Amino acid sequence: MTDKIGNVWVFIEQEGGKIADVSLELVCKARDLANRLNVKAEAVILGNKISGVVDPLFHYGCDNVYLIEDPALEPFTVLPFAEVLVKLLKEHRPNILLFGATLKGRELGPRVASSMMCGLTADCTSLRIDNFDDKINKKSYTDKLMQIRPAFGGNIIATIVNTWEDPQMVTVREGVMKVSIPDTSRKGKLIKIKAEISAESKVIKVLKRISEEKDIDLKKSQIIVSGGYGVGGKANFKLIYELADALGADVGASRPAVDAGWVDHDHQVGQTGVTVRPKLYIACGISGSVQHRAGMDESSKIIAINSDPDAPILSIAHYGIVGDLNVVIPKMIKAFKAKV
């Protein structure tokens, strides 16, 4: 049993002075966890000339923000970030540290965890605080972080607990934590820390960066029409686009539809795609595997069109249409157009 409870920390990602959505999602989650543990929610943000971007972190729930600015911290390279972060962790001993399961988080988190000689659970989809009884070693732990994630190809949901001392470190998938409404009157404490970065950590120089905008960001979509392998082919995927156009929706897809090259990976919904929470999700020719459902089962309303009355998607759909999508979708488009 541990008697030492540090604060809950979030590593904040920023790019060109814009805070990543996942970081704000994690700040909201950190606020919940900190309330539950009766400790502070704190953020750590690294970069250069970024002091103007921290206010939202207070609005979304941070008590304190550690700001470290240095030319060597812009753009992101893992060595100086890891060095600065490890020093801070050793000094402040937070109980929990959350990273987004992004390219940066996945590169930085494990490096920091190995320097701290602690574990890291990757790609969590849920987090909560609970007590834990280690039946094998006959020990009890209070207020541990339950690190919940799909395992064995998504066929089970595993809960992972660290039984060693803090920090408990995780990466969390983008889009899975709910963002609360920001309170713009909320204030916190900005703690500026001078970066001490060794020459060894500055060996990598970024000469050129080429960035490409994403085709689409489904996380923000209010209506999504998704096509699965049942759509039958790339040419037929135009039906999905036509229904989406009629409804003012965005297009999603299952992994087999993406793997078959019918639609780009940015459209993939599910465990290895995006997690979406639209007001309306229309699943067309999608069977409803656990891996697909992991990315869309929190949609407010789900309509499923499937020719198989036993398709698992129909068990989570609010409205199920059993039939051939080639017949159903044109009828839906016609009916919708007749109404507007």
Taking the complex as a whole, the smallest distance from the CB of residue 155 to ligand FAD amounts, in Å, to: 8
Nearer to ligand FAD, 100 or 256 (CB): 256
Calculate the alpha carbon distances from 309 to 52, 297, 321 in Å. 55, 19, 9
Q: Show Cβ contacts of residue 35 under 8 Å, excluding neighbours closer than 6 positions.
A: none
Residues 307-336 that bind ligand FAD (CB under 6 A): 307-308, 311, 324-326
In the list 95, 102, 147, 291, the residue contacting ligand FAD (rule: CB under 6 A) is 291
Is omega for the bond preceding 75 within 30 degrees of 0, making it cis? yes
In the list 6, 167, 285, 320, the residue contacting ligand FAD (rule: CB under 6 A) is 285
- 175 in contact with ligand FAD (CB under 6 A): no
Taking the complex as a whole, the smallest distance from the CB of residue 230 to ligand FAD amounts, in Å, to: 2
- 229 in contact with ligand FAD (CB under 6 A): yes
Are 237 and 231 spatial neighbours (Cβ–Cβ below 8 Å)?
Answer: yes
Q: Show Cβ contacts of residue 290 under 8 Å, excluding neighbours closer than 6 positions.
A: 150, 154, 155, 271
Contact flags string 247-266 toward ligand FAD, x per CB under 6 A: -------xxxx---------
Give the angle 166-43-30 at the CA atoms, nearest 5°.
65
Nearer to ligand FAD, 134 or 324 (CB): 324
Nearer to ligand FAD, 132 or 241 (CB): 241
Residues 127-166 that bind ligand FAD (CB under 6 A): 153-154
- 286 in contact with ligand FAD (CB under 6 A): yes
Residue 31 tokens, joined: 């606020």
Neighbouring C-beta atoms of residue 166, cutoff 10 Å: 21
Which of 98, 247, 109 is closest to 176 using CA atoms? 98
Taking the complex as a whole, the smallest distance from the CB of residue 300 to ligand FAD amounts, in Å, to: 20
- 306 in contact with ligand FAD (CB under 6 A): yes
Residues 198-217 that bind ligand FAD (CB under 6 A): none
Are 168 and 146 spatial neighbours (Cβ–Cβ below 8 Å)?
Answer: no
Nearer to ligand FAD, 188 or 295 (CB): 295
- 273 in contact with ligand FAD (CB under 6 A): yes
Taking the complex as a whole, the smallest distance from the CB of residue 126 to ligand FAD amounts, in Å, to: 17
Gap between the Cα atoms of 10 and 27, Å rounded: 6
- 51 in contact with ligand FAD (CB under 6 A): no
Residue 202 tokens, joined: 């500055």
Pairing assessment for the beta strands 301-306 and 223-227 based on DSSP bridges:
unpaired
In the list 57, 292, 302, 317, the residue contacting ligand FAD (rule: CB under 6 A) is 292
Gap between the Cα atoms of 167 and 95, Å rounded: 5
| Phi, psi dihedrals of residue 323, rounded to the nearest 5° | 170, 175
Nearer to ligand FAD, 22 or 305 (CB): 305
Taking the complex as a whole, the smallest distance from the CB of residue 303 to ligand FAD amounts, in Å, to: 12
- 236 in contact with ligand FAD (CB under 6 A): no
Taking the complex as a whole, the smallest distance from the CB of residue 327 to ligand FAD amounts, in Å, to: 8
DSSP E strands: which ranges in the chain? 8-12, 14-15, 18-19, 41-47, 64-69, 96-100, 120-124, 126-134, 139-151, 156-160, 168-172, 189-194, 223-227, 250-253, 280-284, 301-306, 319-322
Residues at the interface with ligand FAD (CB under 6 A): 153-154, 228-230, 254-257, 268, 270-273, 285-287, 289, 291-292, 295, 305-308, 311, 324-326
